[in-house]
Amino acid sequence: MSRVLVIGCGGVANVAIRKCCMLPEVFTELCIASRTKSKCDALAAELKDKTSTKITTARVNADSVEELCTLINSYKPDLVMNIALPYQDLSIMEACLQCGVNYMDTANYEPEDTDDPEWRKVYEKRCAEKGFSALFDYSYQWAYRERFEKAGLTALLGCGFDPGVTQAYCAYAKKHEFDEIDTIDILDCNGGDHGYAFATNFNPEVNLREVSAPGSYWENGHWVEIPAMSIKREYKFDQVGDKDMYLLHHEEIESLAENIPEVKRIRFFMTFGQSYLTHMKCLENVGMLSTTPINFEGHEIVPIKFLKALLPDPASLGPRTHGKTNIGCIFTGRKDGQEKKYYIYNVCDHQECYKEVASQAISYTTGVPAMCGALMMLTGKWIQPGVHTVEEFDPDPFLDALDRYGLPRSESHDPVLVP
């Protein structure tokens, strides 16, 4: 019996909400609140006769702590699921603290306005100190650790697939497969085809910012940064086949390096087709990925926001996307003095997701872990005052829930390693 406030009603939230409504005995009441209330109303109307979860809707500007507090204080949820954008993480965490509610999200904070001089000062200091230049990092949310701990509240960060399930895979490997882990390679393969020359599978702004940034990996206690897309590998993925993949910076590397300190190297690879990369390079070269506003015929526009308006809505890709995703982690290390390797991954089919929840697999593989993370918190399994990432909790009940609710794991004890 619980009451949950979901903030955001985009691609990922749509899946998470539909999955929550399949477990009405836990998710007894849901309030869907977002910037555009009509989207929340449309989803609530669609689900009304399909679930006994009691759904209400609200409009909220999640950039405003005041508006959030008014909503939280009137709805009185047990948990706030932040499935809006990373830009809203801090305002929603702040509101949860002020109102005394547990918090979770699916991606770590980054600022919407990267030209803000105050933010740039902090960012440039971090780039120099830590050695990676991604716009996002955990420091902003880890700064809330003490306040959440003192308030007796739990904040669960980054509970999608990657970040999220990938860290649960690491915790599982550490708990069951290894005494010591030497290397972790996180492999994110999307073998799906939506038929467009260029489209992004989740929020275009967040996606293109991430992919066009320099890559980096963790090695022997420090970051190694490389030009964007400059390390390429080929890999044969189970049920997908041969794909080109590229080394990217990714947020979970940062928390894994802290929480599994013996690891010597952590890398993250994502597959991209040539058409996607050619379009992205061209858009970048002409300035369309810029977040700096320009004046166009008397109007101020932000190029990447304008591009977002032109690109297909990721939520519309569901019916057209065919193929599978394969996301997981390959480990090397030792158990009982023996060298060993281990691969744990999930394969998810775009069309099967669409049949179940009217969405493609990218939103599905993020929305299902968000629901399962909420389930862990609401059933008390993942409650620990403070601000935590997924690998800090017991992976077993979470992976069991994923097996059961749509993202079953596969394993190999003799995987091909990535050179």
Does 314 sit near ligand NDP (CB under 6 A)?
A: yes
Q: Shortest gap between Cβ of 414 and ligand NDP (angstroms)?
A: 27
Please identify which residue in 28, 61, 133, 351 interacts with ligand NDP, judged by CB under 6 A.
61
Tokens (6 digits) for 336? 């009982």
One of 4, 5, 9, 253 touching ligand NDP (CB under 6 A): 9
Please report whether residue 57 would count as binding ligand NDP according to CB under 6 A: no
Query: Which C-beta is closer to ligand NDP: that of 20 or that of 62?
Result: 62
382, exposed or middle or buried, with CB in 10 Å at 0-12, 13-18, 19+?
A: buried
Question: Does 10 sit near ligand NDP (CB under 6 A)?
Answer: yes
Pick the stretch among 95-103, 202-210, 260-268, 409-417 that binds ligand NDP (CB under 6 A).
202-210
Is residue 166 a contact partner of residue 259, using CB atoms and an 8 Å limit?
no
Interface residue with ligand NDP among 20, 44, 60, 189 (CB under 6 A) is 60
Nearest to ligand NDP by Cβ — which residue? 10
- In 10 A of CB 183, how many CB atoms? 17
* Residue 67, burial from CB neighbour count under 10 angstroms (0-12, 13-18, 19+): middle
Q: Does 111 sit near ligand NDP (CB under 6 A)?
A: no
Instruction: State both tokens at 105.
Output: 């999200």
Which of 27, 1, 10 shows the shortest CA–CA distance to 371?
27
The residue from 186, 206, 228, 361 that contacts ligand NDP (CB under 6 A) is 206
366 belongs to the binding site for ligand NDP (CB under 6 A): yes
Q: How many C-beta atoms surround the C-beta of residue 83 within 10 A? A: 29
User: What is the CB-side half-sphere exposure of residue 127 using CA atoms within 13 A?
Assistant: 12
> Please, what is the Cα angle at 151 between 148 and 157, to 5 degrees?
25
**211 counts as binding ligand NDP under rule CB under 6 A:** no
- For the residues of 41-58, what is the DSSP string, one character each? HHHHHHHTTT-SSEEEEE
Residue 163 engages ligand NDP in binding (rule: CB under 6 A): yes
State which residue, 77 or 333, has the beta carbon closest to ligand NDP.
77
Under rule CB under 6 A, which residues in 23-52 are in contact with ligand NDP? 34-36, 39
Query: Minimum distance between the CB of residue 203 and ligand NDP, rounded to whole angstroms?
Result: 4
Residue 138: how many CB atoms within 10 A of its CB?
19
Interaction site with ligand NDP (CB under 6 A): 8-13, 34-36, 39, 60-63, 83-86, 88, 106-107, 158, 160-164, 202-203, 206, 314-315, 366
